[in-house]
Amino acid sequence: MGRRDESVPVELAGLETRFGALVVHQGLDLEVRRGEALGIVGGSGSGKSVLLSVISLLKAPHAGRLKLFGEEVDMAMSESRLMPLRRRLGVMFQQGALFSSLTVLENVMLPLTEHTRLPALLIEEFARLKIALVGLPREAAQRYPRELSGGMLKRAAVARALALDPELLLLDEPSAGLDPVSAAELDALFNTLRQALGLTLILVTHDLDSLFTVTDRVAYLGQGRVLEVASARDLTESHEPEIARYFGNARAQRFRADA
């Protein structure tokens, strides 16, 4: 077995993903470097969410290579080999999906209860730490999801994604549905968490403010593959026709004008 390259937590080469006859990814190559915040953009249906499912080991690719934390992954690997890799990444899905019948505290405790054998009191203490870390007030721990504002809900979902101290955090359109102030506060939280915890972030978003505020590099997904990887600013200047179309709207023009 070769040496593991831990400086590249995610490495995809020639990835192909399908649902029946629908080809989502074909010949997709991508590297995510340790400690970076990588944005993923692309038109609706270009396969951004499915890509996160592949990286988080929820969807098996049809073909191609996936390395996580330097280890070659085969979804046919036994659960006992996949589980340690799964534990090193946290995912915040598009729908946020907290369990509505559980309090925030119980939601954040859940991954710890499922994946560790820590005593209940310690699990509760760790969960409360995560709730504080994402900037939620103490009393939010006892609330049910329906009793939280949109911004607080997202923070609670981030706390749950951080429950097992992941090195890699995958975020699927985290600011969707938030007002601009709450969205900006969430972006600030991601920057703080990244600095404080040394996290690697993968951020799928349609929100250009988030791209410019949070990411170091942005990968543009189109035609089933990564068409270009560059800084948000450079990508908005791309001459690749599809990318130029994507960024050619009024909001993107604003960023160029501010440059």
Ligand X SMILES: Nc1ncnc2c1ncn2[C@@H]1O[C@H](COP(=O)(O)OP(=O)(O)OP(=O)(O)O)[C@@H](O)[C@H]1O
Judged by the rule CB under 6 A, the positions of this chain that interact with ligand X are 19, 22, 24, 42, 44-50
Handedness of CA 95, 218, 84, 14 (dihedral sign): positive
Q: How far apart are the first and last CA of the chain?
A: 47
Which of 107, 145, 139 is CA-nearest to residue 123?
107
Question: Could you tell me if residue 57 is left (phi over 0), alpha (psi between -120 and 50 degrees) or otherwise beta?
Answer: left
Nearer to ligand X, 45 or 180 (CB): 45
- C-alpha to C-alpha distances, 231 to 21, 41, 165, 213, nearest whole angstrom: 34, 12, 28, 11
Nearer to ligand X, 164 or 186 (CB): 186
Min CB(19)–ligand X separation in Å: 3
For ligand X, which is the closer residue by CB, 5 or 209? 209
* Residues counted in the chain: 259
Shortest Cβ 47–ligand X spacing (Å): 4
C-beta closer to ligand X: residue 49 or 113: 49
Tokens of 182: 């709450």
Which token pair is 160?
């749950």
Report the DSSP beta bridge partners of residue 23: 18
Nearer to ligand X, 48 or 154 (CB): 48
Least spacing, CB of residue 34 vs ligand X, in Å:
25
Indicate the DSSP class of residue 147: G
What are the two backbone dihedrals, phi and then psi, of residue 131, each rounded to the nearest 5 degrees?
Answer: -65, -40
Least distance to ligand X from the beta carbon of 229, Å?
16
Nearer to ligand X, 49 or 116 (CB): 49
Q: Which structure tokens are listed for 49?
A: 């969410």
To ligand X, the closest distance from the beta carbon of 44 in angstroms equals: 3
Minimum distance from residue 132 beta carbon to ligand X (Å): 31
Nearest to 162 by CA among 211, 196, 117: 196
